[in-house]
Structure 1
Amino acid sequence: MTVAGTEEEAAMIDGCSRLGALFKVLVPVMLPGVAASFIFNFVNCWNELFLSVTLMNSDSNKTIPTALAGFISSFNIDWGSMSAAAVLTVVPTLAIFAFASKFIVQGLTAGSVKG
């Protein structure tokens, strides 16, 4: 029997329902791994600038990094608009990382300690 199964059974012996054991025991155990997977997937999608610049030819399908690269033309760079747009796109990313940093560290170190 797995460790999660014994934790769930122990919670049910202590008086939790199956749904209560799910939310009080299993979800907190799964949350760091899910958060780490979410963050790595988000960063991977964010870094697909080269592929999206190469393949996207429609303005309605552009991603945020591709739209930021659109401020650069052959002879001019609109630094003011590009900087403002970059700040507006980086702030949500920083907020997500600030909120989820504890879960990222837990998710990365969860499998490294035996015992």
Structure 2
Amino acid sequence: MSGTIKVLCYKSKTLSNGEHPLMLCVCKDNKRKYQSLGISIKAEQWDFKNNCPNDKCPNRERIIILINDRINEIQKIALDKRIAGRDFTASTLIESSKPSNK
């Protein structure tokens, strides 16, 4: 893909329940695009060094599955665009992966 996809605990934003949102970060050509995963976690339940939930997290397995599914979905879209010979950016990957509300 010649870019990176990772999930970050967005510690600079604290929600009303005291948790922090998990954000998908897509980087390509020195451009970053963030998208919320729709879940939040307490800072003490997140391993900031490895960017994954730590052992204290009660829904650790579920969160890891959700993260891996989203990353795989973005990688599949990037691969499809690369095979088709179409250019893409971090923004177009995020937009392509959003579920339609129709």
Structure 2 length-normalised TM = 0.30
Q: Which has the higher contact order (CA 8 A, sep 6+)?
A: 1
Whose helix proportion is higher, 1 or 2? 1
